[in-house]
Structure 1
Amino acid sequence: MDEIIDSSGEKAPTPFAQTYFHGTKVALKIGDHIKAGFSSNYGKRKNAKYIFLSATLDAAIWGAELSSGEGSGRIYLVEPTGEIENDPDLTDKKFPGNPTQSYRSIHPFKVVGEVTIWQGHSVEKVTAMKEALKKLNEMGIQSLND
C-alpha cells in the first residue's frame, strides 16, 4: 500500500487495506478465510487450485449468481493474505486487459465484511450466461484455471 503523507510531511496512518469482493453461495462470517482446494464452481468442477476475487461489485454479483449450491448468492468483502494475479479467463487470454478487475490466488482471503444490499442481474441475463457457459463446456472449451 502506498504511504500517505500528511500536511506536516509526516507519514499518516492508513487504517484501510485494499478490499475486494468475492461472490458465492456459501455462508461465511467475518474473520473466516476462503481457501483453495474445494470443488470449483466452473469448468470440470474439480478441486480448485485457485480462489477468486474482484475489485468490481458487478463481477462479484456474477460470482454469487453463477456459483453452485443452494440458496441465495452472497457477496463478501475480502482481503488477500498473499499475492494475487490476473484471472486468465477474464484477461489477456480472452479479453484485452482486465475489464472485470478479476484476480486469482492460491493464498486465502480473509472475510472482512459482507455486502447485504445489492441488485442482481435479471433472470434473463443469468439464464443467458448459464446457457453460454454450458455451450462452451459442450464445445470442450474449459476454464484456463483448471
Structure 2
Amino acid sequence: MHDDEWVPVYPENCHRVEGPFFHGTRADLSVGDLLTAGFTSNYDDRVVMNHVYFTSVPKGAGLAAEMARGAGRPRVYVVAPTGAFEDDPNVTNKKFPGNPTRSYRSASPLRIVGELESWEPYDAEFIRELRRRVEDGLGEIIN
C-alpha cells in the first residue's frame, strides 16, 4: 500500500490516524475544555449535532471557524479525541476519492489542548460564496 492510498477510518481502526487535530469555531474556549455533541450546529441553528467534527488540516479548521455563526472571532483549537472517531461523511468521497480534507467526527468529546494563533486563510470571496450556499440550504449536514 502507498502512503497516499486512502484507507477508510472507522471507530475500529481510528487509532492508526495520527494528529495533531484541529477544530474551528467562534466559541471562546480554554485548554482543558471539552467540545461535546448535543449542541446546535455552527452553521445551522435548526440542527442539534450528534457528533463533534475535526480535521488534521489547520486551513480546513480555519475555514470552519470563518464559516461558524456567532459574534466571536474565528478560532482554531488543537484538540485531542477522547474516544473513537470516523471519517466525516459530509466530505468523504463527495467530490474527490477518499478523505482529502482529513476530516473526522466523533460522538465522544474532544479535549482542547491548545489554540493556533494563525493559519492559512481562504480567499474572502470564497468564504462569502460558501456562506451563501450554506444559508441557502445547499449543503445538508449528515449528522
Identify whether the pair has TM-score above 0.5, normalized to the shorter chain: yes
Structure 1 residue identity aligned to 2:131 = K
Go from structure 1 to structure 2 and tell me whether the alpha carbon gap of 1:47 and 1:20 turns closer, same or farther (over 3 Å shift). same
Q: How far 1:93 sits from its partner (Å)?
A: 4.7
Query: Could you list the runs of 4 or more consecutive aligned residues of structure 1 that deviate by over 4 angstroms after TM superposition?
Result: none
Go from structure 1 to structure 2 and tell me whether the alpha carbon gap of 1:88 and 1:94 turns closer, same or farther (over 3 Å shift). farther
C-alpha distance in 2 between matches for 1:109 and 1:98: 20
- What residue in structure 2 maps to residue 144 of structure 1? 142
Go from structure 1 to structure 2 and tell me whether the alpha carbon gap of 1:21 and 1:129 turns closer, same or farther (over 3 Å shift). same
Structure 1 residue identity aligned to 2:40 = S
Q: How far 1:59 sits from its partner (Å)?
A: 1.0
- What residue in structure 2 maps to residue 100 of structure 1? 101
Matches within 5 A, 1:72-111: 72-93=73-94, 95-111=96-112
- What residue in structure 2 maps to residue 41 of structure 1? 42
Cα pair 1:42 1:143 within 8 Å, conserved = no
Cα pair 1:44 1:142 within 8 Å, conserved = no
Residue 62 (str. 1) matches residue 60 (str. 2): no
Residue 50 (str. 1) matches residue 48 (str. 2): no
C-alpha distance in 1 between matches for 2:118 and 2:140: 32
Greater C-alpha Rg: 1
C-alpha distance in 2 between matches for 1:42 and 1:58: 18
Q: How many residues align?
A: 126
Structure 1 residue identity aligned to 2:115 = E
- What residue in structure 1 maps to residue 9 of structure 2? none
What TM-score results when the alignment is normalised by the length of structure 1? Answer: 0.78
| Sequence identity percentage | 38
Structure 1 residue identity aligned to 2:81 = P
Aligned-partner SS, 1:114: strand
C-alpha distance in 2 between matches for 1:95 and 1:45: 28
- What residue in structure 1 maps to residue 31 of structure 2? 30
C-alpha distance in 2 between matches for 1:64 and 1:122: 14
What TM-score results when the alignment is normalised by the length of structure 2? Answer: 0.80
Where structure 1 has 5 or more consecutive residues not aligned to the other structure, the ranges are 1-16
- What residue in structure 2 maps to residue 3 of structure 1? none
C-alpha distance in 2 between matches for 1:64 and 1:55: 14
Go from structure 1 to structure 2 and tell me whether the alpha carbon gap of 1:44 and 1:33 turns closer, same or farther (over 3 Å shift). closer
